[in-house]
């Protein structure tokens, strides 16, 4: 046989799992290759452990305010072993969703091993050569480690070992006030650690400034220290690490977390040898996620573009749809949501006020509503934050929300921005991960599943696959 599979997917994270699962459910012969842990970053050292620690931290914080609503709580006592167990229990609970067995049941051939792309249609793994007319690269990203003097001589944390800490840090110094830096700074502070964030610019710079300011003020009140500057030099030894900033400050802590962004995984598995075009930080792709090499797609964190679990999933479904039906499927970021799970949360969909004004000038109207005027928020005594909606005429182009459960409030704006509200649109909407709102998408998707993966679409996908095997 000319081909061993219809499609080979490299990487078993959110992007690869969605692409592989989608193709397999349409009846295609799929090889799914994972070189480390199924579930990738989100499950093992990203979203899941970070949201688990945020939850433990919230509990401590609530108890810290001993008397509220006339109810007295005992002061919190943090047992790090319990926090560690909660994090790893959460991972273990979700693990079966992403397991080898689950994907084998869907029809994928799952291979555990490091893949190398050896040709336009060939991949090697564990001594086997696989061949398919379509290859999907979904190899993710890893923490960017900046060239800071002395960094390689101290032991430091990244998201890859942070959740393995078996002892509570006394003083966590965080280089980088981005999304990871902010979520972790608040959590570790609330769990009783001293925390300093070193950030040269505005924290969470992609978000609405007013929203970010609310969170920064809350975190300062809770005792997080912000130092304006760039980490330039690091020195010290186990338990005492000093960071010197370009502003002349020296901060000494017991632990150091590096959270200054991501590096796409693009080297060491054959892409350069194949002549694949690479961008500044990731594989170059077009709107259909096609790389410069015909027949090879790249999705999720490994390509240039937004790096979020729901984006990886969305690109995985798009590419699965394009491969199975042969119909070009472009990504559309008009209603892209994201949320930072600090307290209060900072959620965004579509354009921020700054982006909308830059694009449409004075055609933009911004409407702002404060939670201080929202009666549910007043009754809960949780009035911090606001909703800002950016209108062009009467059309919504973006919304920024800061407040309790802000991420859950994005869904109606998905529909307002796209103008689509059918059950099919809901089932295929991009929903911020992880939110409870995903349950609405799941219900709509379940209703459509028998139709989408029904016998007729499968027959059609089978026909497309046969043509491709014959003529590729």
Ligand X SMILES: Cc1cc2nc3c(=O)[nH]c(=O)nc-3n(C[C@H](O)[C@H](O)[C@H](O)COP(=O)(O)OP(=O)(O)OC[C@H]3O[C@@H](n4cnc5c(N)ncnc54)[C@H](O)[C@@H]3O)c2cc1C
Tokens of 57: 């931290």
Tokens of 8: 């080979």
Contact 349, 410 (CB under 8 A): yes
Of 22-30, 197-205, 323-331, 353-361, the window that binds ligand NAD (rule: CB under 6 A) is 197-205
Q: Which candidate, 121, 137, 122, places its Cα nearest to that of 468? A: 121
Tell the smallest beta-carbon distance from residue 434 to ligand NAD (Å). 9
First to last CA, the chain: 13
- Out of 231, 300, 305, 350, the only residue in the binding site for ligand X (CB under 6 A) is 300
Contact string (CB under 6 A) for ligand X, positions 109-148, x = contact = -----xx----------------------xxxx-------
Contact 178, 152 (CB under 8 A): no
Tokens of 377: 């928020």
- Out of 54, 111, 198, 416, the only residue in the binding site for ligand NAD (CB under 6 A) is 198
265 binds ligand X (CB under 6 A): yes
Contact 56, 188 (CB under 8 A): no
Contact 31, 4 (CB under 8 A): yes
Task: Answer with the entry of ligand X, ligand NAD, none that 140 interacts with (C-beta below 5 to 8 A by kind).
Answer: ligand X
310 binds ligand X (CB under 6 A): yes
- CA dihedral angle for residue 321, residue 325, residue 327, residue 329, rounded to 10 degrees: 0
Task: Answer with the entry of ligand NAD, ligand X, none that 253 interacts with (C-beta below 5 to 8 A by kind).
Answer: none
User: What would the DSSP string read from start to end of 58-127?
Assistant: HHHHHHHS-EETTEE-PPP---HHHHHHHHHHHHHHHGGGG-HHHHHHHTEEEEES--EE-SSSEEEETT
- Binding residue positions: 51, 139-141, 176-183, 199, 261, 301
- Binding residue positions for FAD: 51, 139-141, 301
Tell the smallest beta-carbon distance from residue 217 to ligand NAD (Å). 18
176 binds ligand NAD (CB under 6 A): yes
Check the CA dihedral 23-27-33-34 and report its sign.
positive
Contact string (CB under 6 A) for ligand NAD, positions 230-249, x = contact = xx------------------
177 binds ligand X (CB under 6 A): no
Task: Answer with the entry of ligand NAD, ligand X, none that 198 interacts with (C-beta below 5 to 8 A by kind).
Answer: ligand NAD
Rounded CA separation 356/255 (Å): 40
Tell the smallest beta-carbon distance from residue 43 to ligand X (Å). 8
Of 28-36, 127-135, 284-292, 377-385, the window that binds ligand X (rule: CB under 6 A) is 28-36
Classify residue 452 by burial, with Cβ atoms within 10 Å: 0-12, 13-18, 19+.
middle
Residue 15 per-residue DSSP state: H
Tell the smallest beta-carbon distance from residue 146 to ligand NAD (Å). 5
- Binding residue positions for NAD(+): 176-183, 199, 261
Distances (CA, A) of 251 to 175, 181, 187, 243, 280: 11, 16, 20, 5, 32
| Closer Cβ to ligand NAD, 211 or 324, answer by number | 211
200 binds ligand NAD (CB under 6 A): yes
Tokens of 100: 């080898």
- Out of 7, 8, 9, 10, the only residue in the binding site for ligand X (CB under 6 A) is 10
Rounded CA separation 408/276 (Å): 39
- β strands within 229-326, DSSP E: 231-237, 240-245, 250-253, 255-258, 262-264, 278-279, 282-283, 296-298
Contact string (CB under 6 A) for ligand X, positions 314-343, x = contact = ------------------------------
Contact 215, 405 (CB under 8 A): no
Rounded CA separation 365/395 (Å): 10
Contact 84, 66 (CB under 8 A): no
Helix ranges (H only) for 133-178 are none
35 binds ligand X (CB under 6 A): yes
Tell the smallest beta-carbon distance from residue 361 to ligand X (Å). 31
| Closer Cβ to ligand X, 266 or 356, answer by number | 266
251 binds ligand NAD (CB under 6 A): no
- Out of 23, 42, 130, 271, the only residue in the binding site for ligand X (CB under 6 A) is 42
Contact string (CB under 6 A) for ligand NAD, positions 320-359, x = contact = ------------------xxxx------------------
- Out of 301, 343, 345, 353, the only residue in the binding site for ligand X (CB under 6 A) is 301
261 binds ligand NAD (CB under 6 A): yes
| Closest chain position to ligand NAD (CB) | 178
Q: Which residues are at the interface with ligand NAD (CB under 6 A)?
A: 146, 175-181, 183, 198-201, 205, 230-231, 259-262, 307-308, 338-341
Q: Which residues are at the interface with ligand X (CB under 6 A)?
A: 10-16, 33-36, 40-42, 46-47, 50, 114-115, 138-141, 159, 180, 265, 269, 300-301, 307-310, 312, 433-434
């Amino acid at each position: 046989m000319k081909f061993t599979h219809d499609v080979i997917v490299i990487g078993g994270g959110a992007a690869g799992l969605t692409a592989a699962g989608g193709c397999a459910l349409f009846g295609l012969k799929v090889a799914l290759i994972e070189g480390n842990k199924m579930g990738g970053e989100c499950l093992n050292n990203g979203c899941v452990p970070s949201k688990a620690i945020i939850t433990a931290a919230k509990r401590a914080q609530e108890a810290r305010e001993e008397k509220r609503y006339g109810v007295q709580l005992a002061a919190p006592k943090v047992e790090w072993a319990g926090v560690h167990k909660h994090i790893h229990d959460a991972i273990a609970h979700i693990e079966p969703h992403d397991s080898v067995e689950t994907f084998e049941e869907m029809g994928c051939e799952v291979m555990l091993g490091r893949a190398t792309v050896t040709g336009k249609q060939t991949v090697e793994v564990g001594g086997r050569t696989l061949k398919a007319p379509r290859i999907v690269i979904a190899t993710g990203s890893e923490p960017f480690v900046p060239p800071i003097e002395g960094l390689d001589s101290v032991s430091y944390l990244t998201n890859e070992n942070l959740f393995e800490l078996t002892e509570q840090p006394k003083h966590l110094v965080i280089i980088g006030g981005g999304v990871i830096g902010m979520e972790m700074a608040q959590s570790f502070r609330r769990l009783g650690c001293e925390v300093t964030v070193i950030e040269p610019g505005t924290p969470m710079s992609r978000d609405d400034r007013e929203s970010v300011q609310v969170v920064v003020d809350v975190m300062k009140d809770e005792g997080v220290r912000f130092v304006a500057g760039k980490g330039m030099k690091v020195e010290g030894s186990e338990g005492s690490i000093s960071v010197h900033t370009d502003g002349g400050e020296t901060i000494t802590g017991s632990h150091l977390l590096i959270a200054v962004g991501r590096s796409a995984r693009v080297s060491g598995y054959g892409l350069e040898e194949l002549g694949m075009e690479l961008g500044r930080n990731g594989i170059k792709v077009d709107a259909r996620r096609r790389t410069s090499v015909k027949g090879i797609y790249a999705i999720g964190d490994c390509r240039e573009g937004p790096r979020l679990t729901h984006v990886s999933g969305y690109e995985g479904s798009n590419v699965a749809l394009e491969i199975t039906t042969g119909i070009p499927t472009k990504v559309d970021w008009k209603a892209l949501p994201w949320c930072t799970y600090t307290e209060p949360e900072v959620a965004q969909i579509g354009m921020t006020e700054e982006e909308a004004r830059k694009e449409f000038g004075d055609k933009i109207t911004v409407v702002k509503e404060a939670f201080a005027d929202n009666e549910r928020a007043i009754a809960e005594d949780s009035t911090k934050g606001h909703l800002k909606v950016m209108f062009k005429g009467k059309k919504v182009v973006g919304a920024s929300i800061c407040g309790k459960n802000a991420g859950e409030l994005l869904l109606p704006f998905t529909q307002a921005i796209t103008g689509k509200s059918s059950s099919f649109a809901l089932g295929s909407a991009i929903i911020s991960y992880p939110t409870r709102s995903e349950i609405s998408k799941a219900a709509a998707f379940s209703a459509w599943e028998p139709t989408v993966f029904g016998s007729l679409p499968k027959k059609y996908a089978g026909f497309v696959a046969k043509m491709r095997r014959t003529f590729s």
